[in-house]
């Protein structure tokens, strides 16, 4: 999850904390939250820097129902899905659901290995799990390693910690925790206290 356009006066971390509070409901329980991280905008030059985090959820909902819930929360926060990789008030991605591969291994591999220039032009018309770019993005893997370092990619066979270690150090430059080691949790607690 990430934001680089704050909603209201709470700032970027406050926007993420409010989004976590909005996600947490009877059918979708937030069980773990990473630290919040300041991360360089990706792709470079597409807007201001982001605050990113990762959350683990428990649910009995289908993957498509979870994605619909994520998109509904994005809409509440004013997300405009019109431009790919533009600045955004909120970006909620479904990275994985256990070892589930959707829609199938061949399609997941096709999107995972898509050349960078094609990635900029094309977007899948259905949910792909695990997220096809999970292994390539430090801004995803750094927070994910806080809460699920041992989760193993069902096709690549690599853990989050191994995928993160495989990234060039240059990809990790500029990623730093926001406001101390438990900024994510403390921001969420503050959000719940004010409701």
- What positions carry a catalytic annotation? 79, 88, 91, 93
Task: Note if the bond before 101 is cis, omega within 30 degrees.
Answer: no
d(CA 52, CA 33): 11
d(CA 41, CA 39): 6
CB 188 within 8 A of CB 17: yes
Q: Measured on CA atoms in the order 158, 160, 162, 166, is the torsion positive or negative?
A: positive
174 CB contacts (<8 Å, ≥6 apart)?
38, 39, 40, 49
């Amino acid at each position: 999850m990430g934001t680089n356009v704050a909603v209201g006066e709470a700032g970027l971390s406050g926007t993420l904390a409010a989004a976590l509070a909005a996600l947490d409901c009877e059918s979708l329980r937030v069980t773990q939250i990473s630290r919040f991280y300041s991360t360089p905008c990706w792709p470079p030059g597409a807007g201001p820097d982001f605050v990113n985090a990762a959350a683990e959820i428990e649910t009995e909902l289908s993957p498509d129902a979870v994605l619909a819930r994520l998109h509904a929360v994005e809409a509440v926060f004013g997300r405009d899905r019109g431009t790919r990789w533009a600045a955004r008030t909120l970006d909620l991605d479904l990275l994985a659901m256990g070892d589930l591969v959707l829609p199938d291994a061949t399609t997941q591999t096709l999107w995972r290995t898509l050349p960078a220039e094609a990635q900029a032009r094309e977007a899948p018309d259905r949910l792909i799990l695990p997220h096809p770019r999970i292994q390539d993005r430090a801004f995803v893997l750094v927070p994910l390693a806080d809460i699920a370092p041992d989760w193993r990619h069902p096709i690549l066979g690599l853990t989050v910690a191994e995928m993160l270690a495989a990234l060039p150090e240059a990809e990790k430059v500029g990623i730093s925790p926001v406001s101390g080691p438990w900024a994510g949790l403390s921001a969420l607690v503050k959000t719940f206290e004010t409701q």
